[in-house]
Protein backbone atom coordinates (compact mmCIF):
# COMPACT_ATOMS: atom_id res chain seq x y z
CA UNK A 1 0.00 0.00 0.00
CA UNK A 2 1.15 3.54 -0.72
CA UNK A 3 -0.09 7.14 -0.52
CA UNK A 4 -1.83 8.80 -3.45
CA UNK A 5 -3.98 11.82 -4.16
CA UNK A 6 -7.33 10.42 -5.31
CA UNK A 7 -10.18 12.23 -7.03
CA UNK A 8 -13.52 10.50 -6.46
CA UNK A 9 -16.82 11.18 -8.22
CA UNK A 10 -20.05 11.44 -6.23
CA UNK A 11 -23.63 12.37 -7.12
CA UNK A 12 -23.08 15.90 -5.82
CA UNK A 13 -19.73 16.36 -7.57
CA UNK A 14 -16.13 15.31 -7.15
CA UNK A 15 -13.78 15.40 -4.19
CA UNK A 16 -10.00 15.10 -3.94
CA UNK A 17 -8.07 13.82 -0.93
CA UNK A 18 -5.10 11.79 0.19
CA UNK A 19 -5.77 8.05 0.17
CA UNK A 20 -4.09 4.65 0.27
CA UNK A 21 -3.71 2.54 -2.87
CA UNK A 22 -2.49 -0.99 -3.50
CA UNK A 23 -0.09 -1.64 -6.38
CA UNK A 24 -2.61 -4.13 -7.77
CA UNK A 25 -5.08 -1.26 -8.26
CA UNK A 26 -2.79 0.59 -10.68
CA UNK A 27 -3.94 0.64 -14.32
CA UNK A 28 -2.26 -1.52 -16.99
CA UNK A 29 1.22 -0.72 -18.26
CA UNK A 30 4.53 -2.40 -18.97
CA UNK A 31 6.64 -0.27 -16.59
CA UNK A 32 6.14 0.19 -12.84
CA UNK A 33 7.85 3.31 -11.48
CA UNK A 34 8.61 4.29 -7.90
CA UNK A 35 7.82 8.00 -8.02
CA UNK A 36 10.35 10.25 -6.29
CA UNK A 37 8.98 13.69 -7.20
CA UNK A 38 5.98 15.15 -8.96
CA UNK A 39 4.71 18.70 -9.42
CA UNK A 40 1.62 20.84 -9.42
CA UNK A 41 0.66 22.37 -12.75
CA UNK A 42 -2.28 24.49 -13.86
CA UNK A 43 -3.99 21.42 -15.37
CA UNK A 44 -3.53 19.53 -12.11
CA UNK A 45 -5.21 22.40 -10.27
CA UNK A 46 -8.17 22.26 -12.66
CA UNK A 47 -8.46 18.51 -12.09
CA UNK A 48 -8.15 18.61 -8.29
CA UNK A 49 -10.55 21.52 -7.80
CA UNK A 50 -13.01 20.34 -10.44
CA UNK A 51 -12.94 23.83 -11.97
CA UNK A 52 -12.76 22.27 -15.44
CA UNK A 53 -13.69 18.75 -16.64
CA UNK A 54 -10.08 17.63 -17.00
CA UNK A 55 -10.59 14.19 -15.47
CA UNK A 56 -12.16 11.69 -17.87
CA UNK A 57 -12.69 8.72 -15.54
CA UNK A 58 -12.96 8.12 -11.80
CA UNK A 59 -11.36 7.42 -9.43
CA UNK A 60 -8.31 9.27 -10.75
CA UNK A 61 -4.83 9.94 -9.45
CA UNK A 62 -3.95 13.41 -10.81
CA UNK A 63 -0.47 14.59 -11.73
CA UNK A 64 0.52 15.14 -15.36
CA UNK A 65 4.20 14.45 -14.73
CA UNK A 66 6.61 12.61 -12.46
CA UNK A 67 10.23 11.55 -12.10
CA UNK A 68 11.27 8.30 -10.52
CA UNK A 69 13.06 4.97 -10.68
CA UNK A 70 11.88 1.93 -12.62
CA UNK A 71 10.83 -0.85 -10.22
CA UNK A 72 9.61 -3.43 -12.76
CA UNK A 73 9.63 -3.48 -16.56
CA UNK A 74 8.63 -5.73 -19.43
CA UNK A 75 9.41 -2.93 -21.91
CA UNK A 76 12.56 -3.41 -23.99
CA UNK A 77 13.68 0.17 -23.45
CA UNK A 78 13.78 0.16 -19.65
CA UNK A 79 15.07 -1.98 -16.79
CA UNK A 80 14.81 -1.78 -12.99
CA UNK A 81 16.93 1.03 -11.62
CA UNK A 82 16.61 3.33 -14.65
CA UNK A 83 15.83 6.96 -13.82
CA UNK A 84 12.90 8.21 -15.91
CA UNK A 85 10.64 11.21 -16.41
CA UNK A 86 7.13 11.41 -17.82
CA UNK A 87 5.17 14.35 -19.22
CA UNK A 88 1.66 14.20 -20.61
CA UNK A 89 0.14 11.29 -22.57
CA UNK A 90 -3.16 11.80 -20.74
CA UNK A 91 -1.61 10.84 -17.40
CA UNK A 92 -3.60 12.46 -14.61
CA UNK A 93 -6.60 12.83 -16.94
CA UNK A 94 -7.40 9.41 -18.45
CA UNK A 95 -4.63 7.32 -16.86
CA UNK A 96 -3.54 7.44 -13.20
CA UNK A 97 -0.80 10.01 -12.77
CA UNK A 98 2.18 11.12 -10.78
CA UNK A 99 0.74 12.37 -7.48
CA UNK A 100 1.28 8.96 -5.90
CA UNK A 101 4.21 6.93 -4.64
CA UNK A 102 3.95 4.47 -7.56
CA UNK A 103 2.76 4.65 -11.17
CA UNK A 104 2.29 1.98 -13.81
CA UNK A 105 2.50 3.33 -17.37
CA UNK A 106 3.45 2.47 -20.92
CA UNK A 107 7.21 2.52 -21.42
CA UNK A 108 6.61 4.37 -24.68
CA UNK A 109 5.59 7.39 -22.60
CA UNK A 110 8.81 7.52 -20.59
CA UNK A 111 11.99 9.46 -21.30
CA UNK A 112 15.31 8.41 -19.78
CA UNK A 113 16.58 11.19 -17.55
CA UNK A 114 19.66 12.92 -19.02
CA UNK A 115 22.93 12.64 -17.14
CA UNK A 116 23.54 15.45 -14.69
CA UNK A 117 19.84 16.04 -13.95
CA UNK A 118 18.67 14.79 -10.56
CA UNK A 119 15.18 13.41 -10.07
CA UNK A 120 14.37 16.50 -8.01
CA UNK A 121 15.63 18.85 -10.71
CA UNK A 122 13.69 16.90 -13.32
CA UNK A 123 10.45 17.84 -11.59
CA UNK A 124 11.57 21.35 -10.74
CA UNK A 125 11.71 21.57 -14.54
CA UNK A 126 8.60 19.43 -14.98
CA UNK A 127 6.04 19.82 -17.72
CA UNK A 128 6.29 23.60 -17.37
CA UNK A 129 10.00 23.67 -18.19
CA UNK A 130 9.68 21.02 -20.88
CA UNK A 131 6.86 23.05 -22.48
CA UNK A 132 8.94 26.22 -22.25
CA UNK A 133 11.77 24.49 -24.11
CA UNK A 134 9.37 23.27 -26.82
CA UNK A 135 8.31 26.92 -27.24
CA UNK A 136 11.91 28.12 -27.54
CA UNK A 137 12.65 25.38 -30.07
CA UNK A 138 9.57 26.44 -32.09
CA UNK A 139 10.75 30.06 -32.22
CA UNK A 140 14.19 28.95 -33.38
CA UNK A 141 12.75 26.55 -35.96
CA UNK A 142 10.71 29.42 -37.42
CA UNK A 143 13.65 31.79 -37.66
CA UNK A 144 13.39 33.90 -34.49
CA UNK A 145 16.98 34.35 -33.33
CA UNK A 146 18.54 36.51 -30.58
CA UNK A 147 19.24 39.34 -33.05
CA UNK A 148 15.69 39.27 -34.48
CA UNK A 149 14.30 41.58 -31.82
CA UNK A 150 12.52 41.50 -28.49
CA UNK A 151 10.59 38.39 -27.43
CA UNK A 152 7.56 38.78 -25.17
CA UNK A 153 6.59 36.14 -22.60
CA UNK A 154 3.11 36.27 -21.08
CA UNK A 155 2.36 34.83 -17.65
CA UNK A 156 6.05 35.32 -17.00
CA UNK A 157 5.93 34.76 -13.24
CA UNK A 158 4.34 31.32 -13.64
CA UNK A 159 6.12 28.03 -14.27
CA UNK A 160 6.28 28.06 -18.07
CA UNK A 161 6.90 31.80 -18.23
CA UNK A 162 9.66 31.79 -15.61
CA UNK A 163 11.62 29.01 -17.27
CA UNK A 164 11.01 30.42 -20.75
CA UNK A 165 12.46 33.74 -19.56
CA UNK A 166 15.53 31.96 -18.17
CA UNK A 167 16.06 29.87 -21.32
CA UNK A 168 15.67 32.79 -23.71
CA UNK A 169 17.98 35.01 -21.68
CA UNK A 170 20.64 32.30 -21.53
CA UNK A 171 20.58 32.10 -25.33
CA UNK A 172 21.00 35.85 -25.75
CA UNK A 173 17.42 36.94 -26.43
CA UNK A 174 16.02 40.21 -25.11
CA UNK A 175 12.93 39.33 -23.06
CA UNK A 176 9.89 41.43 -22.20
CA UNK A 177 8.03 39.76 -19.32
CA UNK A 178 4.28 40.26 -18.99
CA UNK A 179 2.72 39.81 -15.55
CA UNK A 180 -0.45 40.76 -13.73
CA UNK A 181 1.56 41.02 -10.51
CA UNK A 182 3.92 43.95 -10.86
CA UNK A 183 5.26 43.14 -7.38
CA UNK A 184 7.11 40.31 -9.17
CA UNK A 185 9.21 42.77 -11.20
CA UNK A 186 12.41 42.13 -9.24
CA UNK A 187 11.87 38.37 -9.48
CA UNK A 188 11.47 38.58 -13.27
CA UNK A 189 14.45 40.88 -13.67
CA UNK A 190 16.46 38.34 -11.70
CA UNK A 191 15.49 35.69 -14.26
CA UNK A 192 16.85 37.91 -17.02
CA UNK A 193 13.89 39.94 -18.28
CA UNK A 194 14.92 43.35 -19.62
CA UNK A 195 11.43 44.86 -19.61
CA UNK A 196 8.48 44.25 -17.30
CA UNK A 197 5.05 44.84 -18.87
CA UNK A 198 1.78 45.10 -16.96
CA UNK A 199 -0.73 42.52 -18.16
CA UNK A 200 -3.40 45.23 -18.04
CA UNK A 201 -2.04 46.43 -21.40
CA UNK A 202 -3.27 43.15 -22.94
CA UNK A 203 -6.57 42.45 -21.21
CA UNK A 204 -8.87 44.81 -23.11
CA UNK A 205 -10.02 44.29 -26.69
CA UNK A 206 -7.62 46.06 -29.00
CA UNK A 207 -7.32 46.95 -32.66
CA UNK A 208 -6.80 44.27 -35.33
CA UNK A 209 -3.28 45.64 -35.78
CA UNK A 210 -1.30 47.59 -33.19
CA UNK A 211 2.19 49.06 -33.19
CA UNK A 212 4.82 46.47 -34.15
CA UNK A 213 6.74 45.51 -31.02
CA UNK A 214 7.75 41.85 -30.79
CA UNK A 215 9.81 39.58 -33.02
CA UNK A 216 8.70 36.53 -31.08
CA UNK A 217 6.31 35.58 -28.31
CA UNK A 218 5.64 32.73 -25.91
CA UNK A 219 2.03 32.87 -24.72
CA UNK A 220 0.49 30.87 -21.89
CA UNK A 221 -2.71 32.94 -21.69
CA UNK A 222 -4.81 32.59 -24.82
CA UNK A 223 -7.95 34.67 -25.01
CA UNK A 224 -7.77 38.43 -25.49
CA UNK A 225 -4.17 38.46 -24.25
CA UNK A 226 -3.06 36.31 -27.18
CA UNK A 227 -5.18 38.39 -29.56
CA UNK A 228 -3.35 41.55 -28.46
CA UNK A 229 0.03 39.84 -28.68
CA UNK A 230 -0.74 38.80 -32.27
CA UNK A 231 -1.78 42.35 -33.15
CA UNK A 232 1.55 43.70 -31.83
CA UNK A 233 3.90 41.31 -33.63
CA UNK A 234 6.52 42.62 -36.03
CA UNK A 235 6.48 41.66 -39.68
CA UNK A 236 6.99 37.88 -39.91
CA UNK A 237 6.97 37.54 -36.14
CA UNK A 238 6.34 34.15 -34.55
CA UNK A 239 4.09 33.30 -31.59
CA UNK A 240 4.36 29.98 -29.73
CA UNK A 241 1.05 29.41 -27.94
CA UNK A 242 0.91 26.80 -25.17
CA UNK A 243 -1.78 27.79 -22.66
CA UNK A 244 -5.26 29.05 -21.90
CA UNK A 245 -4.98 30.74 -18.53
CA UNK A 246 -7.03 33.68 -19.84
CA UNK A 247 -9.50 31.66 -21.85
CA UNK A 248 -10.10 29.23 -24.71
CA UNK A 249 -11.45 31.83 -27.11
CA UNK A 250 -9.27 33.79 -29.54
CA UNK A 251 -10.99 37.07 -30.50
CA UNK A 252 -8.65 38.10 -33.29
CA UNK A 253 -8.77 38.76 -37.05
CA UNK A 254 -6.79 37.54 -40.02
CA UNK A 255 -4.97 40.89 -40.21
CA UNK A 256 -1.76 39.86 -38.38
CA UNK A 257 -1.45 36.78 -40.57
CA UNK A 258 -2.15 38.22 -44.02
CA UNK A 259 -0.76 41.75 -43.56
CA UNK A 260 2.31 41.05 -41.42
CA UNK A 261 2.93 37.39 -42.19
CA UNK A 262 2.73 36.44 -38.50
CA UNK A 263 3.06 32.74 -37.67
CA UNK A 264 1.06 31.20 -34.81
CA UNK A 265 2.61 27.92 -33.69
CA UNK A 266 0.65 25.61 -31.40
CA UNK A 267 2.70 23.84 -28.72
CA UNK A 268 1.36 20.51 -27.48
CA UNK A 269 3.34 18.90 -24.70
CA UNK A 270 0.93 15.99 -24.17
CA UNK A 271 1.29 13.99 -27.40
CA UNK A 272 4.61 15.45 -28.59
CA UNK A 273 6.70 12.87 -30.53
CA UNK A 274 9.44 11.16 -28.55
CA UNK A 275 12.26 12.53 -30.72
CA UNK A 276 11.28 16.09 -29.78
CA UNK A 277 10.89 15.10 -26.13
CA UNK A 278 14.39 13.68 -26.05
CA UNK A 279 15.82 16.77 -27.74
CA UNK A 280 13.99 19.11 -25.35
CA UNK A 281 15.15 17.26 -22.25
CA UNK A 282 18.74 17.09 -23.46
CA UNK A 283 18.76 20.83 -24.07
CA UNK A 284 17.21 21.50 -20.67
CA UNK A 285 20.01 19.47 -19.09
CA UNK A 286 22.61 21.51 -20.96
CA UNK A 287 21.16 25.02 -20.90
CA UNK A 288 19.12 25.54 -17.76
CA UNK A 289 20.71 27.21 -14.74
CA UNK A 290 19.84 24.70 -12.01
CA UNK A 291 20.70 27.12 -9.19
CA UNK A 292 18.24 29.70 -10.54
CA UNK A 293 15.72 26.92 -11.06
CA UNK A 294 16.05 25.85 -7.44
CA UNK A 295 15.58 29.44 -6.27
CA UNK A 296 12.22 29.68 -8.08
CA UNK A 297 10.95 26.35 -6.72
CA UNK A 298 8.64 25.84 -3.76
CA UNK A 299 8.49 22.36 -2.24
CA UNK A 300 5.31 20.84 -0.74
CA UNK A 301 4.45 17.41 0.60
CA UNK A 302 1.99 15.03 -1.06
CA UNK A 303 -0.46 15.58 1.81
CA UNK A 304 -0.51 19.34 1.08
CA UNK A 305 -1.38 19.08 -2.62
CA UNK A 306 -5.17 19.39 -2.35
CA UNK A 307 -4.91 22.52 -0.20
CA UNK A 308 -2.31 24.17 -2.43
CA UNK A 309 -3.94 23.49 -5.82
CA UNK A 310 -6.52 26.35 -5.68
CA UNK A 311 -3.68 28.90 -5.56
CA UNK A 312 -3.15 28.36 -9.29
CA UNK A 313 -6.68 29.43 -10.11
CA UNK A 314 -6.31 32.47 -7.86
CA UNK A 315 -3.15 33.61 -9.69
CA UNK A 316 -0.98 33.25 -6.59
CA UNK A 317 1.70 30.87 -7.86
CA UNK A 318 5.22 32.05 -8.64
CA UNK A 319 7.64 29.75 -10.42
CA UNK A 320 7.38 26.01 -9.79
CA UNK A 321 5.69 23.92 -7.10
CA UNK A 322 7.54 20.68 -6.48
CA UNK A 323 5.80 17.76 -4.75
CA UNK A 324 7.93 15.53 -2.54
CA UNK A 325 6.69 11.94 -2.88
CA UNK A 326 9.67 9.62 -2.17
CA UNK A 327 12.63 12.02 -1.84
CA UNK A 328 14.84 9.23 -0.51
CA UNK A 329 14.93 7.83 -4.06
CA UNK A 330 16.83 10.89 -5.26
Confidence bin at 330 (pLDDT 50/70/90): low
The answer on 130 and 108 residing in a single domain is: no
Q: What is the CA radius of gyration of the chain?
A: 20
CA distance 93 to 213: 38
Predicted pLDDT at 161: 95
CA distance 249 to 169: 30
Domain limits at 144? 126-266
The answer on 142 and 239 residing in a single domain is: yes
Average pLDDT score over residue span 26-41: 96
Confidence bin at 53 (pLDDT 50/70/90): confident
Q: Is the pLDDT of residue 115 over 70?
A: yes
Residue 273, in any domain of the structure: no
Average pLDDT score over residue span 245-270: 95
Residue 256, in any domain of the structure: yes
The answer on 256 and 133 residing in a single domain is: yes
Q: What are phi and psi of 112, to 5 degrees?
A: -65, 135
Residue 315, in any domain of the structure: yes
- Classified as helix, coil or strand, 168 is helix
First to last CA, the chain: 21
Q: Give the helix ranges, DSSP H, for 171-273.
A: 185-191, 223-231, 255-259
Predicted pLDDT at 46: 93
Residue 118, in any domain of the structure: no
Q: What is the CATH number of the domain that holds 20?
A: 3.90.180.10
pLDDT digit string, tens, across residues 161-202: 999 999 999 999 999 999 998 999 999 999 999 999 999 999
Residue 291, in any domain of the structure: no
Q: Is the pLDDT of residue 108 over 80?
A: yes
Amino acid sequence: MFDAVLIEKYDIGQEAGLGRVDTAQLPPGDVLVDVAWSTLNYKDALAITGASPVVRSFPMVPGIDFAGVVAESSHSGFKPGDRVVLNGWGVGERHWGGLAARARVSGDWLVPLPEGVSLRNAMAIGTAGYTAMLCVMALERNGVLPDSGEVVVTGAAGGVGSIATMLLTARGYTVAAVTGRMVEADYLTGLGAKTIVDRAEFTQAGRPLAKERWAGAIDVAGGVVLANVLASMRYRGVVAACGLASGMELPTTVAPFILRGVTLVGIDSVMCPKSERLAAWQRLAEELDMEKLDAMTTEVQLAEVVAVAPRFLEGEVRGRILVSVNPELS
